[in-house]
Structure 1
Amino acid sequence: MKLSKLLSKIIVLMPLVLLGGCATSTDYKSSAVQFLFSERDDTAKSAQIPILTLPMNVGIAFVPETGHYRTGDSRRLLPTLSSLTESDRTALMDEIGAQLKKYEFVKSVIQIPSEYMAVNGGFDNLERIKTTFNVDVITLVSFSQSQFVDKDISAIAYLTIIGALIVPGEINDTRTVLDAVCYHITGQRMILGASGDSNIRSRATPINILDQIRKDSLEGFKQANKNLALNLNQQLELLGAAICNSTGDFQIMCEPGYSGVGSLKKGAVCSVEPLRADKVLVKKSERKLYLKKGQRTLKEYNISLGKNPVGDKEREGDCRTPEGIYILDWRNRNSHFYKAIHISYPNREDISSARSRGVSPGGMVMIHGVPNYFSWTKWYFRSRDWTNGCIAVSNTEMDEIWAYVPDGTIIEIQP
C-alpha cells in the first residue's frame, strides 16, 4: 500500500518537475523588414515617389516565416508550436481585406498565395507578384508569437516596420504581434503601416497543457488581428484625407472614367485632379515606352515594333518604326486596331530625306492595341515585332495611354 501511494505521488509530480525550472519560450516570427531589405545591395533601385493609380488593386500576403525558436531549459516538455495553416492565414487576410474594401480608393483586394512569397524575396519578388496579379500596391502581413510556460518573468522584443515593441512575459502567456505595412511596389515606398497585439493569460494542468497552448496560439492571432483592424482603419482614414487634400508623399493618377476618391468611407467623394504625362519616351532597343512627367517616370510598358525594327524609317513599306521627336496630334477610337493615337510622322525633314531618294516617306504611324479581328490571340502579339512600323501595346495598356496622354504631347523615339 505504501509503495503504491509513493508511485502515485511520483507519477503526479513528474510533469510538474519537468515544467518547472528556467523560463522557456517557443516563438514563431516573420519580418517585413527582413523580407524586403535583408538581401538588398548597393545596386538596388532607389525609392521613387509613388504614383497611386485610383482606384487601387491591392494585394495582401503573409511574409514568409524566418524561423521557429525555442529558448530556455532543454528538458522542458513544451510542445513545438504549429505555424499558421493556409486556412488560418486566409481567414486573417479576409478580415484585413474587409477593412481595405470599405474605402472608395480601393478597387479590389487580391490575396497572394504563400507559394508566391519567397524567403527574403524583397522587391524583386514583389515585382513578379505585380506582373502576375496586376497589383501596384501590396499589404505585407508579418507576425511574432511567443508562448511562455514558467514561473519566471521573461520578455520579447519584436521589430516591426514602424518601430520596436517590447512586452514582458508572465506565467503561461501567449504574446502575439501582427504587423501590416502597405507598400507601393514600383516606388518601393511605404504608404501606411499598422500593428496590433494581444496577450492571452491562461493556466492549465500538466494533462491539458498541450491543448491549451494550441488554443491560446489561435486566440492570440484572432485578438491581435482585431486590434490591428482598428489601427489599420485609422491609417486608412488618414490616407484617404491625404489623397483628397493632396498632402501625401505621392502622386495621383485616375483610371479612365474614375473622377474621384472616397475621402473616408464609400459615398464620401472628393474630386482629384488626374496626373497627366507631358512626354512619351520610346526606347526601341529596350522595347519600352515610358510616360514622363518632367523627370519622373509615371508608367512604363513593353512594346512591339515594326517587323523590321532596327534603324530609322526611310520609306513607305520598309516596316520600320521611325526615330526622332514628333507630336501625338490626334486619335481614333474606331480604328482597325484597339484605339490608335497618331504620331506626326513624317515631318519636313523626313519628307525631304525621302524625296532626295525618290521614294515616299510613308505615314499613318500610330500607337495602338492589338487588331480588333484577332483579339482572341492577344498573347501572340506580345511575343514579337509584328506591325508595319507602328508601336503596339496591349489593349489594357492602350486604355491607360489613351487616358494619361492628351493630344499635343511630345513623343521622342530613340534607337
Structure 2
Amino acid sequence: MTGDGKKEGSGCKKAFPLDVVLGVCLGLVFILAMAIFYYYSRLQKRKLVQMRSVFFRQNGGWILQQRLASQGIDSTTRIFTEEELQKATENYSENRILGRGGYGTVYKGLLSNQQVVAIKRSKLIDESQVEQFINEITILSQINHRNVVRLLGCCLETQVPLLVYEFISNGTLFKHIHNQDFLPWEDRLRISKETAHAIAYLHSAASFPIIHRDIKSSNILLDEKYTAKVSDFGASRSVPFDCTHVTTLVQGTLGYLDPEYFHTSQLTEKSDVYSFGVVLAELITGQMPISFDRPEDLRNLETYFTSLVDEGRLVRAIEPHILKEAKLDELHFVAHLARRCLNVKGEDRPAMKEVALELEGLRKAVKKRANDRSITEREWFVQEIGSTSSLISEVSESSRQYSLDTELLSTIRHPR
C-alpha cells in the first residue's frame, strides 16, 4: 500500500493489483489441473485400449479374423463390449449363474434390447485352449440349423474370452434323464430324432463337414418346448471334402468316446455315430454312461447295453416308466439301431443321415399306428419297420428275443 493512511491526507492506495494477480494465478492453476486430468485420462484410455488389444490378441482375435477370411465365412457374429456384458449379468452376479464346468461359468444375461442370452465366461486360458475357443466360434459361424444352439456374439477384449448364445431354458437332456422328472417316451423319440438330424446336418449339409467330437446328453439342451439343441463345439473339427478322417489328439468324454478313435487317433464321422448310440442307450435305459453300481466289467453303458441286446434280455435294462408307456416293438427298433451305432468298427456303423431317416420313419409310423388300433405290434413292426433294408435281417434274428421280451413284459405290466 502507498500513501499516509490519513483521511485528510492521501489515504491508502494499492501499490500492486493483488486481486488481479490472484485471479490469474487461480486460473492458471485450474487450467494446469484440467490439462493434467486430460492427459491422465488420455493415458488411462490409451492403456485400456492397449490392454484390450493385448487381450484381443491373447484370446485369438487375430487368428479368428484370419480363419474366417481364409474360409470365406461372412460372419454375422456380433462383437459385444465388456460393459454390455457386465451390465447384462449384473457384474457377473452369483444369482445369474446357470452352470459351472471345466471350461468356466455360464451366466444368464439380459441385453439392453431385453433379449435373454446365455453368456459363457471362460476360465483363465493358455495358448493351448485358445484354439478350442476360436474353433467354436469358427464352427458356429458356419451353422444354421434349428437343432443347433445359435451363437449370437463374443467379447474378446476382456482378460478371459466370453461367448454369447441364445438362451435355452430347460437345461440339458442329461438332467432330464438322470436328475429330474420323468421324460415321456414320445419326447425321447422326438429328441433323438432332432439330435440325429442336427448331427447329420453337421456331417453332410454344413459349409464344410463338421465332426462334433463330444456328442453326449449333457451337450444336448432343451428349450421351452423340449426341442433339442446340440451345443458345445469347442472340440469340433472341420473336415475337407476329399478327406475321410482327421488325425488328432484324442478328445471326448469317457463313456461316450469311440474306442476306434481312442486307439487310432483317427477321427471320422462314425465317431459321432458311436457317441450318439450311447445317448440312445441312455434314453432307453435311463442309466448313466459310466456307473459303479454295475459289475466291474459292465460299468461302461455300451458294454452293458450291447450284452443285453445280444443276449435277448433288453427288457431287463429298460427304465420302468418307459416299459409301461412304450410299445415293445418301438423299444426293439431303437435298441437295435443303437446297437448298430455301437459297433466296434466304424465301417460297421450306419451313417448319421441313415440313423436320422430311420428315427424319422419310426415317429411317422408310431403316429400312423395311433390311428389304427387294429394292427398288432408284431405286424406293425414287420410292415412299417421291416421294410427298411438295413433292418430286415435283424427283424428275423430278433424274433426269439422279441417273443421272450413280450412274455417278460406281459408279466411286468400285468403281474398275477
TM-score (norm 2): 0.24
* Higher RCO (C-alpha 8 Å, min separation 6): 1
Bigger Rg, structure 1 or 2: 2
TM-score (norm 1): 0.24
